[in-house]
A and B are shown apart, each in its own frame.
Chain A
Amino acid sequence: MSSVAALWNRCWFTPASARSLRATRIILAAHALWVVLSKPDIPHLVSWPAVFFDPAQRAGYLRFGIVRGGEPVEWMLYAILHVTLAAVIAGALPRIMCAISALLLYHFAPFEEVIIGMPHTHFAGLTVATIGLFILAFAEVPPANGDAMSPEYRWPVTLIQLIYSFIYLFAFLSKIRFNGIRWFTWTTIRAQIAGNWGVHPNAFGMQVATRPLLCWAIVIATLLFESLFWLCVFMPRLRLSFVLAAIGFHIGILLTMNIHFASAPLLLLFVNWDSLAERLRSRRKVLLAR
């Protein structure tokens, strides 16, 4: 076997536990349900006047099955989405429920921004769940209990983690694509923060924006974090550092720019659930022995 094939197999097919796959399924569905419950008016969009829907973008709407009118049908489908996501969390008919949930997310997630061409749909919290639940629908269904090991439980989890990590890697590439490495200078951070002031004044953010050294530190940390986070998918020893860095990154952005990252709870995908379960089991044994 060539070294490339061996590396490929090690990355994607090293046996993993059924628990990790079940945990991934529950995290994705619970997070999606939280986001969906937080967007209660989504189906209402199809009743908006036709003038809001640019006829030139009709193909884009149809790609997601979005058609004006038929609001009662949309409400029914939206209710079904809540039920199927709850079923995924409960582990009921996981393959079918994951598939239905993913299809409905594919339909509904673009609603919020479809009238302006979906510039930030990826940032609204349902992108990883949409692809992830499809992947889980296609993958082998793990047993409802126990920690059986199989290569079949590795690749779906790794693929979903990698898709999550693309959020950071591609955000880095987008900066390079449109501005080159020059984006990573302190004045960019200053302008990003100050640009929000006229809309939502943020005194803490402005304190940061007026300190060049702090802005330099932020921009260098952003460069390293966004470009390297994906490594922790394949190097579990790096996970704790990168996940803590991600939490700090999102808190910093929230405090300085008022930008909230809806997908942040999906960092739970990087928790080693086997190790956690083992620790809990050991602790329980110690407590029972006392």
Chain B
Amino acid sequence: MTAWLIEGPKLLAFLFFFALGALVMRSAGDERRRTVSLFILFVLGVSGLAGVTQWDVWPFTNNMLATGRGTDESHERWLAFYGVDSSGREWRLDPYTWSPVFDSVMQTWISMRYDELSRAQQEEVQHFLLTRANETREALAAGHRIGYEKYLDALGCPYWWRLKRWKDVPHEPYRAVRVYRMDFQVGAMVRGDHRVTRTLFMECRQ
């Protein structure tokens, strides 16, 4: 119910946009300019509201971007995905492994939701990650293109964050997927201390 209190007005905004657009389509004569003006005002009003309040009403969006204001003391934390072969060697997973969900989206999802899940649900997630990692491994090993390159090759439009690609894969299935927490301090990076602390967060096994 609470969710609909948030999503309901957003849906109504979109439906009202649609209804006003339909009115524009049907309007003619003296009324036309007034109807078009009303439509423009509505689009500017909803968009402006999203921009000023930063309340996202996609597709009337807040365009929130890079709002963080870090300092040299800021700590950064990311998750990194690795496949593990039978010899125990770790292979960094390509950021398009979970396509259509990008690496950073999966990181965010795990950070937001994983700890709240029941044990059975966590096992389901682990099984899914290992299966998907192996499906992608198979595709890459067979020389297939994945993610944005699938149809358009290098001419495709990548996800907005251009993380390094990791296309080398073993010729045998992964036995496990490991998810590490990567922690570092911004100021240390700038001073040339590029150490990143890696801590195992999750291991998905068959």
Contacts and interface: CB of A to CB of B under 8 A. Distances in A.
A175 B164 CA distance: 28
A17 interface: no
A191 B74 contact: yes
Nearest to A180: B69
Contact of B161 (A95, A169, A260): A260
Q: How large is the interface on B (under 10, 10 to 19, 20 to 34, 35 or more residues)?
A: 35 or more
Contact of B152 (A37, A110, A173, A206): A37
A45 interface: yes
Interface stretch (B6-14, B83-91, B167-175): B6-14
B101 interface: yes
Contacts of B4: 59
B190 A210 contact: yes
B64 A171 contact: yes
Given A113-B105, A116-B112, A131 B60 contact: yes
A8 interface: yes
B5 to A, nearest CB: 9
Contacts of A198: 76, 78, 182, 184, 189, 194, 196
Interface string B67-106: 1111110101010000000000000000000011110010
Interface string B1-38: 00110111011001001100110110000000100110
Contacts of A195: 68, 70, 74, 76, 186
Given A166-B47, A174-B54, A258 B100 contact: no
Q: How large is the interface on A (under 10, 10 to 19, 20 to 34, 35 or more residues)?
A: 35 or more
Interface string B188-200: 0110001010000
B36 to A, nearest CB: 6
B199 to A, nearest CB: 13
B43 interface: yes
Given A116-B108, A134-B17, A163-B47, A35 B189 contact: no
B18 to A, nearest CB: 7
Contacts of A162: 44
A196 to B, nearest CB: 9
A93 B64 CA distance: 35
Contacts of B151: 37-38, 40
A260 B102 CA distance: 14
B124 to A, nearest CB: 5
A49 B162 contact: no
B58 interface: yes
A223 B115 CA distance: 39
Interface string A20-58: 000000000000001101111110110011011010111
Residue with the highest number of chain A CB atoms closer than 10 Å, among B76, B163, B194: B76
A125 B59 contact: no
B43 A131 contact: yes
Q: Top 4 A-B pairs ranked by shortest CB distance?
A: A191-B70, A170-B63, A138-B21, A170-B51
8 contacts: A37-B156, A41-B100, A110-B58, A115-B105, A131-B43, A134-B17, A163-B47, A182-B69
Interface of B: 3-4, 6-8, 10-11, 14, 17-18, 21-22, 24-25, 33, 36-37, 39-40, 43-44, 47, 50-54, 56, 58-72, 74, 76, 78, 99-102, 105, 108-109, 112-113, 117, 121, 124-125, 128, 147-148, 150-152, 156-164, 182, 184, 186-187, 189-190, 194, 196
